[in-house]
Amino acid sequence: MLGYYIRLALKSFARTPGLTALMVAAVGFGIAACIVTLTVYHTMSGNPIWWKDGVLYAVTMDSWDPKSPYDSSHPELPPDQLTYQDAIYLFASDIPSAKTIYTLVGGALSGAPGQTIPLPVNTEATTTDFFRMFDVPFEYGGPWQSEADHGPEPVIVLSRAENDRLFGGADSVGRTILWNNLSFRIVGVLDDWYPRPKFYNLTGGGSGNFGIPEAPFVPFRWSTVLHLGPGGTIDCWGRGPGSSYEQLLGSTCVWISMWVQLPSRAQRERFLDFMNAYWAQQRRQGRFQRPLDNQLWTVSQWLRIHDVVSGDSRLLLELAFAFLAVCLINTAGVLLAKFLRGAPISGVRRALGASRRQILEQHLVEVALLALAGSGLGLLLGALGLRGVQAMYANGYSDYGAAAHFDSHGVFLALALATATAVAAGLYPAWRIGRVSPSEYLKSQ
């Protein structure tokens, strides 16, 4: 029977081609608008490392000014980075199964074969656990050994893009490159890695919350050995950074991020106790004059407090749904009119023995075909729309453009949602025509 219903539906479309095209177009545009806005919203509000939610924690301590909170619009939140002395002290703890501290520093890569001018790079100075904690994939090689975090060995990890640019994409592991005019040995090259948002650095500094992860990566100690000032976001209060690098390291400024891996509840509690003991000891020496607020944040919580979803994204999503609603109401109205116009034909079929249910099924098939056609068009237009958004924001530092990425989850979510609502819109007209008594329409008008 399904094949018969499909043929009936196609005949019905052919009878009013203009109207059918209009309905498909209306549904298509409504779905496309929803795909574009929902994809962006989904990317912005997504957790790119959700499987680590019970395991990874961001470490914060409120070292800020007793006179005023770090963020006046959210006074309960601590600074999202640590001071140098706090980061170094906490990093020494062996309670976590894995731990990492990192900060951005400026630099330049030179000395690659055929390279004429140095390549300025915002460099992530971090520790070896960074890569396995954040599931960073490697194309060649791997992270450096933990000895390099403490010892003098100059090792470096390049991004895929940098390796493509400087070494033509070849396996450069084992070769050397100059970073800030010093010779570093390449131990690894990353595969494509672009978590959206950049959950491990939501300060907005560097390439931004939705920007490409900064690379290359060097061991953290090189930032202090070379006296490199912070290249990302740094916030200070009171006397500020001081007048020398040594004073910067002992200052109130926060510029270092820290994450730990604490898979069990017992470990978490032990680490919190460790932080609190440190806090109490430092407070006796005059630091940490704000109320006790040592916190461990899961990735989800971290994303939520940073509120990375842009207001524009929410606004446009709401508008797109209003548009879809209008399109579907319109489609329901047109379908109702069309089905009622075709009532005499259904009347004849009823007279020939079709049950009410069969009439309903036949019209539902027509609705479903319409919804599918509309979804197909919507998918096409939506993909174009996403490309358009990317192009429009190509140079912008608006997070919206960077989040307009063809993420299959977001797109299919939108598609499924929209198709379901399109079918729902056609339910009433199909039900209505099923209820019509045939004799009414078999008489002459």
Question: Which residue lies nearer to other proteins by CB, 71 or 153?
Answer: 71
Q: Which has the closest alpha carbon to 137: 44, 35, 53, 213? A: 213
Using rule CB under 8 A, residue 389 touches other proteins: yes
Interface pattern 31-50 for other proteins (x via CB under 8 A): --x-----------------
Of 239-268, which residues contact other proteins (CB under 8 A)?
Answer: 239-244, 247-248
Using rule CB under 8 A, residue 298 touches other proteins: no
Q: Which has the closest alpha carbon to 210: 70, 389, 396, 51? A: 396
Of 409-428, which residues contact other proteins (CB under 8 A)?
Answer: 428
Question: Which residue lies nearer to other proteins by CB, 174 or 396?
Answer: 396
State the residue for tokens 């919580």: 301
Give the residue, chosen from 46, 96, 231, 438, that forms a contact with other proteins under the rule CB under 8 A: 231
Strand partners for 56: 261
* Pairing, β 56-60 against β 182-190: unpaired
Amino acid occupying residue 275: M
Written as six digits, the tokens of 39 are 């994809």
Using rule CB under 8 A, residue 332 touches other proteins: yes
Question: Which residue lies nearer to other proteins by CB, 73 or 285?
Answer: 73
Q: Is 102 helix (H, G, I), strand (E, B) or coil?
A: strand
Using rule CB under 8 A, residue 139 touches other proteins: no
Question: Which residue lies nearer to other proteins by CB, 33 or 187?
Answer: 33
Give the residue, chosen from 320, 368, 402, 403, that forms a contact with other proteins under the rule CB under 8 A: 320
Cα–Cα distance measured from residue 242 to residue 182, given in angstroms and rounded to the nearest whole number: 28
Using rule CB under 8 A, residue 285 touches other proteins: no
Question: Which residue lies nearer to other proteins by CB, 243 or 285?
Answer: 243
Give the residue, chosen from 38, 327, 359, 422, that forms a contact with other proteins under the rule CB under 8 A: 327
Size of the chain in residues: 445
Cα–Cα distance measured from residue 189 to residue 187, given in angstroms and rounded to the nearest whole number: 7
Q: Is 26 helix (H, G, I), strand (E, B) or coil?
A: helix
> Which part of the chain contacts other proteins (CB under 8 A), choosing from 123-131, 180-188, 193-201, 411-419?
180-188
Q: Is the peptide bond before 291 cis (omega within 30 degrees of 0)?
A: no
Question: Which residue lies nearer to other proteins by CB, 274 or 428?
Answer: 428
Using rule CB under 8 A, residue 396 touches other proteins: yes
Cα–Cα distance measured from residue 303 to residue 377, given in angstroms and rounded to the nearest whole number: 34
Cα–Cα distance measured from residue 335 to residue 324, given in angstroms and rounded to the nearest whole number: 16
* Minimum CB–partner distance for residue 171 and other proteins (Å): 27
Question: Which residue lies nearer to other proteins by CB, 30 or 143?
Answer: 30
Q: Is 123 helix (H, G, I), strand (E, B) or coil?
A: strand
Using rule CB under 8 A, residue 65 touches other proteins: yes
Using rule CB under 8 A, residue 16 touches other proteins: no
Question: Which residue lies nearer to other proteins by CB, 322 or 442?
Answer: 322
Question: Which residue lies nearer to other proteins by CB, 285 or 445?
Answer: 445
3-state secondary structure 236-286: CCCCCCCCCHHHHHCCCCECEEEEEECCCHHHHHHHHHHHHHHHHHHHHCC
What is the residue-wise DSSP string for 149-200?
HHSS--EEEE-HHHHHHHHTT---TT-EEEETTEEEEEEEEE-----SS-TT
Counting Cβ atoms within 10 Å, is residue 157 exposed (0-12), middle (13-18) or buried (19+)?
Answer: buried
Count of residues engaged in binding other proteins, rule: CB under 8 A: 69
CB 350 within 8 A of CB 438: yes
Q: Is 104 helix (H, G, I), strand (E, B) or coil?
A: strand
Give the residue, chosen from 9, 316, 402, 411, that forms a contact with other proteins under the rule CB under 8 A: 316
Using rule CB under 8 A, residue 69 touches other proteins: no
Question: Which residue lies nearer to other proteins by CB, 319 or 348?
Answer: 319
Question: Which residue lies nearer to other proteins by CB, 175 or 432?
Answer: 432
Q: Is the peptide bond before 69 cis (omega within 30 degrees of 0)?
A: no
Give the residue, chosen from 135, 333, 384, 437, that forms a contact with other proteins under the rule CB under 8 A: 333
Give the residue, chosen from 21, 280, 292, 337, that forms a contact with other proteins under the rule CB under 8 A: 337
Give the residue, chosen from 89, 193, 237, 431, that forms a contact with other proteins under the rule CB under 8 A: 237
Chain residues in the site for other proteins (CB under 8 A): 19, 22, 26, 29, 33, 65, 67-68, 72, 106, 108, 110, 117-118, 120, 180-182, 204, 226-229, 231, 237-244, 247-248, 310-312, 314-316, 319-320, 322-323, 325-327, 329-330, 332-334, 336-337, 340-341, 389, 392-393, 395-398, 400-401, 428, 432, 444-445
